[in-house]
Amino acid sequence: MDISNELVFKWLVQYAYEPGIVYTIVSLIMIACAFGFPLPEEVTILSVGILSYMAAHPENFPPPYPGAKGIEVYEAAVVCFVAVVLSDILVYFLGKKFGPRLMKWRLIQRLITPNSLSKIESWTSRYGMWAAAAFRFTPGLRFPGFWACGMAGLSPWKFILADGGAALISVPTQVILVATYGESIFGFLKQMKVIIFSLLAFFLLLYFLRRFLQVRRNGSST
Protein backbone atom coordinates (compact mmCIF):
# COMPACT_ATOMS: atom_id res chain seq x y z
CA MET A 1 0.00 0.00 0.00
CA ASP A 2 1.33 3.42 -0.97
CA ILE A 3 -0.15 5.43 1.86
CA SER A 4 1.14 8.72 0.42
CA ASN A 5 -1.36 8.42 -2.44
CA GLU A 6 -4.33 7.89 -0.13
CA LEU A 7 -6.73 10.83 0.06
CA VAL A 8 -7.02 10.56 3.85
CA PHE A 9 -3.26 10.82 4.27
CA LYS A 10 -3.06 13.81 1.92
CA TRP A 11 -5.75 15.47 4.02
CA LEU A 12 -4.19 14.68 7.39
CA VAL A 13 -0.59 15.47 6.44
CA GLN A 14 -1.56 19.13 5.99
CA TYR A 15 -2.08 19.19 9.78
CA ALA A 16 0.86 16.97 10.72
CA TYR A 17 1.96 19.52 13.34
CA GLU A 18 -1.52 20.34 14.63
CA PRO A 19 -2.46 17.26 16.71
CA GLY A 20 -5.81 18.64 17.86
CA ILE A 21 -7.04 19.00 14.28
CA VAL A 22 -5.70 15.56 13.31
CA TYR A 23 -7.40 13.86 16.27
CA THR A 24 -10.69 15.63 15.56
CA ILE A 25 -10.62 14.53 11.91
CA VAL A 26 -9.68 10.98 12.90
CA SER A 27 -12.57 10.79 15.38
CA LEU A 28 -15.06 12.00 12.75
CA ILE A 29 -13.71 9.52 10.20
CA MET A 30 -14.03 6.64 12.68
CA ILE A 31 -17.65 7.56 13.36
CA ALA A 32 -18.35 7.67 9.63
CA CYS A 33 -16.65 4.29 9.14
CA ALA A 34 -18.67 2.77 11.99
CA PHE A 35 -21.84 3.84 10.16
CA GLY A 36 -20.79 2.13 6.95
CA PHE A 37 -18.88 4.87 5.14
CA PRO A 38 -16.87 3.05 2.43
CA LEU A 39 -13.41 3.92 3.70
CA PRO A 40 -11.15 1.25 5.20
CA GLU A 41 -10.52 2.07 8.84
CA GLU A 42 -6.98 0.77 8.37
CA VAL A 43 -6.08 3.60 5.97
CA THR A 44 -6.73 6.21 8.66
CA ILE A 45 -4.85 4.23 11.30
CA LEU A 46 -1.81 3.76 9.06
CA SER A 47 -1.92 7.45 8.09
CA VAL A 48 -1.78 8.49 11.75
CA GLY A 49 1.11 6.06 12.28
CA ILE A 50 3.06 7.65 9.42
CA LEU A 51 2.43 11.13 10.84
CA SER A 52 3.86 9.91 14.15
CA TYR A 53 6.85 8.47 12.29
CA MET A 54 7.42 11.84 10.59
CA ALA A 55 7.32 13.65 13.93
CA ALA A 56 9.86 11.20 15.38
CA HIS A 57 12.28 11.82 12.46
CA PRO A 58 12.46 15.61 12.06
CA GLU A 59 15.79 15.24 10.27
CA ASN A 60 13.95 13.62 7.36
CA PHE A 61 10.66 15.51 7.70
CA PRO A 62 11.49 19.01 9.00
CA PRO A 63 8.74 20.70 11.05
CA PRO A 64 7.34 24.00 9.74
CA TYR A 65 8.99 25.93 12.58
CA PRO A 66 11.27 25.13 15.56
CA GLY A 67 9.39 23.54 18.45
CA ALA A 68 6.34 22.59 16.39
CA LYS A 69 4.43 19.79 18.14
CA GLY A 70 4.03 16.69 16.03
CA ILE A 71 1.86 13.61 16.48
CA GLU A 72 3.10 11.70 19.54
CA VAL A 73 2.88 7.96 19.00
CA TYR A 74 1.28 6.73 22.23
CA GLU A 75 -1.10 9.67 22.37
CA ALA A 76 -2.13 8.90 18.78
CA ALA A 77 -2.55 5.19 19.57
CA VAL A 78 -4.88 5.99 22.48
CA VAL A 79 -6.91 8.50 20.45
CA CYS A 80 -7.38 6.05 17.57
CA PHE A 81 -8.35 3.22 19.93
CA VAL A 82 -10.85 5.33 21.88
CA ALA A 83 -12.33 6.81 18.68
CA VAL A 84 -12.83 3.35 17.19
CA VAL A 85 -14.41 1.81 20.29
CA LEU A 86 -16.66 4.76 21.09
CA SER A 87 -17.89 4.80 17.47
CA ASP A 88 -18.77 1.11 17.73
CA ILE A 89 -20.50 1.65 21.07
CA LEU A 90 -22.56 4.46 19.53
CA VAL A 91 -23.85 2.10 16.82
CA TYR A 92 -24.56 -0.58 19.45
CA PHE A 93 -26.61 1.76 21.67
CA LEU A 94 -28.56 3.18 18.73
CA GLY A 95 -29.52 -0.39 17.83
CA LYS A 96 -30.34 -1.18 21.46
CA LYS A 97 -32.41 1.92 22.23
CA PHE A 98 -33.93 2.88 18.88
CA GLY A 99 -33.32 -0.13 16.60
CA PRO A 100 -36.93 -1.10 15.69
CA ARG A 101 -37.97 2.52 15.27
CA LEU A 102 -34.97 3.53 13.15
CA MET A 103 -35.31 0.42 10.99
CA LYS A 104 -38.26 2.19 9.37
CA TRP A 105 -35.93 4.85 8.01
CA ARG A 106 -35.02 4.41 4.36
CA LEU A 107 -31.36 5.30 5.02
CA ILE A 108 -31.03 2.55 7.64
CA GLN A 109 -32.81 0.09 5.36
CA ARG A 110 -30.17 0.74 2.72
CA LEU A 111 -27.43 -0.12 5.20
CA ILE A 112 -29.22 -3.12 6.76
CA THR A 113 -31.70 -5.20 4.79
CA PRO A 114 -34.32 -7.08 6.86
CA ASN A 115 -32.94 -10.40 5.60
CA SER A 116 -29.35 -9.64 6.59
CA LEU A 117 -30.50 -8.22 9.95
CA SER A 118 -32.39 -11.43 10.69
CA LYS A 119 -29.31 -13.55 9.98
CA ILE A 120 -26.99 -11.32 12.01
CA GLU A 121 -29.40 -11.24 14.95
CA SER A 122 -29.49 -15.03 14.83
CA TRP A 123 -25.68 -15.21 14.96
CA THR A 124 -25.59 -12.67 17.77
CA SER A 125 -28.20 -14.52 19.84
CA ARG A 126 -26.34 -17.79 19.32
CA TYR A 127 -22.71 -16.71 19.75
CA GLY A 128 -23.04 -13.57 21.87
CA MET A 129 -19.85 -11.60 22.46
CA TRP A 130 -17.88 -13.84 20.09
CA ALA A 131 -20.08 -12.59 17.26
CA ALA A 132 -19.32 -8.99 18.28
CA ALA A 133 -15.58 -9.70 18.15
CA ALA A 134 -15.93 -11.33 14.74
CA PHE A 135 -17.90 -8.35 13.37
CA ARG A 136 -15.01 -6.01 14.31
CA PHE A 137 -12.72 -7.89 11.92
CA THR A 138 -15.30 -8.20 9.13
CA PRO A 139 -15.61 -5.16 6.83
CA GLY A 140 -19.18 -4.69 5.65
CA LEU A 141 -20.62 -6.37 8.74
CA ARG A 142 -19.46 -3.92 11.39
CA PHE A 143 -22.42 -1.54 11.24
CA PRO A 144 -25.19 -4.14 10.85
CA GLY A 145 -23.39 -6.47 13.25
CA PHE A 146 -23.02 -3.95 16.07
CA TRP A 147 -26.54 -2.66 15.44
CA ALA A 148 -27.87 -6.22 15.70
CA CYS A 149 -25.87 -6.80 18.90
CA GLY A 150 -27.84 -3.95 20.45
CA MET A 151 -31.19 -5.10 19.10
CA ALA A 152 -30.57 -8.70 20.16
CA GLY A 153 -30.04 -7.60 23.77
CA LEU A 154 -26.34 -8.47 24.11
CA SER A 155 -25.08 -7.12 27.44
CA PRO A 156 -23.35 -3.73 27.05
CA TRP A 157 -20.37 -4.90 29.08
CA LYS A 158 -20.00 -8.05 27.01
CA PHE A 159 -20.13 -5.98 23.84
CA ILE A 160 -17.55 -3.48 25.14
CA LEU A 161 -15.28 -6.30 26.30
CA ALA A 162 -15.48 -8.14 22.97
CA ASP A 163 -15.22 -5.10 20.72
CA GLY A 164 -12.62 -3.35 22.88
CA GLY A 165 -10.51 -6.49 23.12
CA ALA A 166 -10.62 -7.00 19.36
CA ALA A 167 -9.80 -3.33 18.71
CA LEU A 168 -6.91 -3.48 21.20
CA ILE A 169 -5.31 -6.21 19.11
CA SER A 170 -5.37 -4.24 15.87
CA VAL A 171 -5.67 -0.48 16.38
CA PRO A 172 -2.95 0.78 18.79
CA THR A 173 -0.50 -1.91 17.72
CA GLN A 174 -0.66 -0.74 14.09
CA VAL A 175 -0.17 2.90 15.07
CA ILE A 176 2.84 2.07 17.26
CA LEU A 177 4.49 -0.28 14.75
CA VAL A 178 4.09 2.14 11.83
CA ALA A 179 5.27 5.07 13.98
CA THR A 180 8.38 3.05 14.86
CA TYR A 181 9.29 1.49 11.52
CA GLY A 182 7.51 3.59 8.91
CA GLU A 183 6.14 2.15 5.67
CA SER A 184 8.67 -0.70 5.77
CA ILE A 185 6.39 -2.45 8.29
CA PHE A 186 3.38 -2.57 5.93
CA GLY A 187 4.35 -5.97 4.49
CA PHE A 188 4.66 -7.44 7.98
CA LEU A 189 1.28 -6.03 9.01
CA LYS A 190 -0.31 -7.58 5.93
CA GLN A 191 1.16 -10.97 6.83
CA MET A 192 0.00 -10.63 10.43
CA LYS A 193 -3.52 -9.81 9.26
CA VAL A 194 -3.56 -12.99 7.17
CA ILE A 195 -2.36 -14.99 10.19
CA ILE A 196 -4.99 -13.44 12.50
CA PHE A 197 -7.82 -14.11 10.04
CA SER A 198 -6.56 -17.66 9.51
CA LEU A 199 -6.47 -18.31 13.26
CA LEU A 200 -9.92 -16.78 13.67
CA ALA A 201 -11.29 -18.99 10.90
CA PHE A 202 -9.59 -22.04 12.45
CA PHE A 203 -11.07 -21.47 15.90
CA LEU A 204 -14.50 -20.73 14.45
CA LEU A 205 -14.30 -24.00 12.51
CA LEU A 206 -13.38 -25.86 15.69
CA TYR A 207 -16.26 -24.20 17.53
CA PHE A 208 -18.81 -25.12 14.86
CA LEU A 209 -17.44 -28.67 14.65
CA ARG A 210 -17.75 -29.04 18.41
CA ARG A 211 -21.34 -27.75 18.34
CA PHE A 212 -22.18 -30.09 15.47
CA LEU A 213 -20.76 -33.14 17.27
CA GLN A 214 -22.55 -32.15 20.49
CA VAL A 215 -25.90 -31.84 18.70
CA ARG A 216 -25.28 -35.15 16.97
CA ARG A 217 -24.49 -36.92 20.27
CA ASN A 218 -27.56 -35.44 21.93
CA GLY A 219 -29.70 -36.56 19.00
CA SER A 220 -28.36 -40.12 19.08
CA SER A 221 -28.90 -40.41 22.83
CA THR A 222 -32.63 -39.63 22.63
Q: What is the pTM of this model?
A: 0.81
Q: Please tell me the number of Cα atoms within 13 Å of 47 on its side-chain side.
A: 26
Higher pLDDT among residues 65 and 204, named by residue? 65
Instruction: Please check the confidence at residue 46 and state whether its pLDDT lies above 70.
Output: yes
- The amino acid sitting at 3 is I
Instruction: Please check the confidence at residue 222 and state whether its pLDDT lies above 60.
Output: no
Averaged pLDDT, 204-215: 73
Query: How far apart are alpha carbons 209 and 197 in whole angstroms?
Result: 18
In order of 78, 88, 95, 205, 219, the CA distances from 38 in angstroms are 24, 16, 20, 29, 45
Can you list the alpha helix ranges (DSSP code H) found in the chain? 7-13, 19-34, 41-56, 73-102, 106-111, 114-127, 129-136, 142-151, 156-181, 186-221
pLDDT above 70 coverage of the chain, percent? 86
Query: How far apart are alpha carbons 3 and 116 in whole angstroms?
Result: 33
Q: For 207, which DSSP code? A: H
Instruction: Please check the confidence at residue 65 and state whether its pLDDT lies above 90.
Output: no
* pLDDT category of residue 182 using cuts at 50, 70 and 90: confident
- pLDDT digits 0-9 by tens, 120-141: 777 777 777 888 888 888 777 7
Give the pLDDT score at 5. 66
